[in-house]
């Protein structure tokens, strides 16, 4: 069910939620957090779809702030979505116009769940300093997505400069399965240490740069980045060892092939992760991701400034 509230206030929105709860049994019991989504009108439905799916694992109240033009007449339009239109959550969409276009905290403060953690997600448009934005200041976790930026590499470097505990980026979350597979390979390597690494991936893949930075930070060896065709994601990782190279190669964004000296080639399912899965993973934890912080603030700069990275 979707209830439209044109030219309204957050007080009226809050009262309408209470009225709907009393009439139809819409409840907030079991909501584990408030997810605030700050996005543009063109991306509202995409963000809601991903948040709704993630909410089936993490029931929450979803507040979507859709930015408008400061030149418009000042008003606030709202939607309340419950039931089949809201997954395991209740969704409040606030369309800001005019002087309200830049407002954030004042609009959401009356709609936050009491005593529940707050997670802020920017699906498009990475803030220069997420922790210092008005929404970031009240959040326990702050989720960005450098992959949506015109220059993901520059966006990641900026995030590294401004990093604070509680920050994370979905480009890092998309690496989870790659990191699991590569960690297993390194465990099997045993006494034959890695002497150098080559990471190949799309020139617009923020995850490629973070993967290279993670390996640089973890292994303390030279890491070369080969940037390929945009839109293809991560392509391969090669570990150079005295006993022979190990390669994890993904030619089709679905299946990867692992080759190691003296062993038959292994076929591994390694599809690109969707937005819902990445968001759900990030909502599982509210503590700082220390590994991500170290990779972003230490490994990334060392990796990208290293001689041998090629365009």
Report the C-alpha gap between 75 and 96 in whole angstroms.
7
pTM of the prediction?
Answer: 0.91
CB 192 within 8 A of CB 275: no
How big, in percent rounded to 5, are the helix, strand and coil portions of the chain?
Answer: 40, 25, 35
Residue 217 above 60 pLDDT? yes
The predicted structure's pLDDT at residue 311: 39
Q: Is 14 helix (H, G, I), strand (E, B) or coil?
A: helix
Q: How many CB atoms lie within 10 A of CB 125?
A: 14
The predicted pLDDT at position 309 comes to 41
Q: How far apart are CA 227 and CA 209, in angstroms?
A: 9
| Orientation of helix 206-219 relative to helix 176-189, angle to 10° | 30
Is there a contact between 246 and 187 (Cβ–Cβ < 8 Å)?
no
pLDDT value at position 25?
Answer: 57
Check if the beta carbon of residue 111 is closer than 8 Å to that of residue 73: no
220-274 residue pLDDT tens: 999 999 999 998 899 999 999 998 999 999 999 899 999 999 899 999 999 999 9
User: Which H/E stretch holds residue 124?
Assistant: none
Contact 64, 44 (CB under 8 A): yes
Q: Which domains does the chain have, with CATH numbers?
A: 2-169 (no CATH), 176-305 (3.30.360.10)
Using CA atoms, how far apart are residues 54 and 275, in angstroms rounded to an integer? 9
- Check if the beta carbon of residue 64 is closer than 8 Å to that of residue 91: yes
Torsion region of 48: left, alpha or beta (phi above 0 gives left; psi -120 to 50 gives alpha)? alpha
Which string of b and e fits 265-278 if b means at least 16 CB within 10 Å?
eeeeebeebebbbb
Distance CA 131, CA 129 (A): 6
What's the whole-number average pLDDT of the chain?
90
How do residues 56-112 score in pLDDT, each as one tens digit? 888 889 999 998 778 888 999 999 998 766 666 789 999 999 888 877 898 999 899
């Amino acid at each position: 069910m979707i209830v439209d509230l044109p030219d309204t206030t957050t007080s009226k929105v809050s009262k309408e939620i209470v009225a709907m709860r009393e009439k139809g049994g819409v409840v907030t019991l079991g909501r584990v957090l408030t997810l605030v989504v700050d996005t543009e009108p063109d991306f509202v439905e995409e963000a809601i779809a991903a948040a709704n799916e993630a909410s089936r694992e993490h029931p929450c109240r979803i507040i979507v702030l859709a930015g408008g033009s400061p030149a418009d007449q000042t008003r606030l339009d709202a939607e309340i979505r419950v039931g089949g239109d809201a997954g395991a959550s209740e969704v409040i969409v606030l369309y800001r116009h005019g002087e309200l276009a830049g407002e954030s905290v004042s609009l959401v403060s009356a709609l936050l769940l009491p005593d529940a953690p707050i997670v802020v997600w920017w699906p498009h448009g990475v803030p220069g300093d997420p922790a210092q934005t008005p929404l970031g200041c009240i959040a326990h976790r702050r989720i960005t997505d450098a992959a949506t930026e015109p220059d993901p590499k520059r966006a990641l470097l900026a995030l590294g400069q401004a990093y604070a505990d509680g920050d994370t980026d979905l480009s890092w979350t998309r690496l989870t399965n790659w990191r699991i597979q590569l960690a297993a390979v390194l465990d099997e390597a045993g006494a034959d240490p890695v002497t150098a690494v080559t990471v190949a991936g799309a020139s617009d893949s923020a995850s490629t740069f973070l993967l290279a930075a993670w390996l640089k930070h973890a292994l303390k060896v030279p890491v070369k980045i080969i940037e390929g065709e945009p839109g293809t994601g991560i392509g391969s990782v090669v570990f150079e060892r005295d006993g022979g190279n190990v390669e994890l190669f993904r030619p089709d964004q679905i299946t990867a092939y692992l080759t190691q000296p003296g062993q038959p080639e292994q076929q591994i399912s390694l599809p690109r992760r969707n937005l819902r899965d990445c968001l759900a993973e990030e909502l599982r934890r509210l503590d700082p991701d220390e590994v991500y912080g170290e990779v972003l603030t230490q490994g990334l700069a060392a990796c990208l400034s290293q001689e041998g990275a090629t365009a």
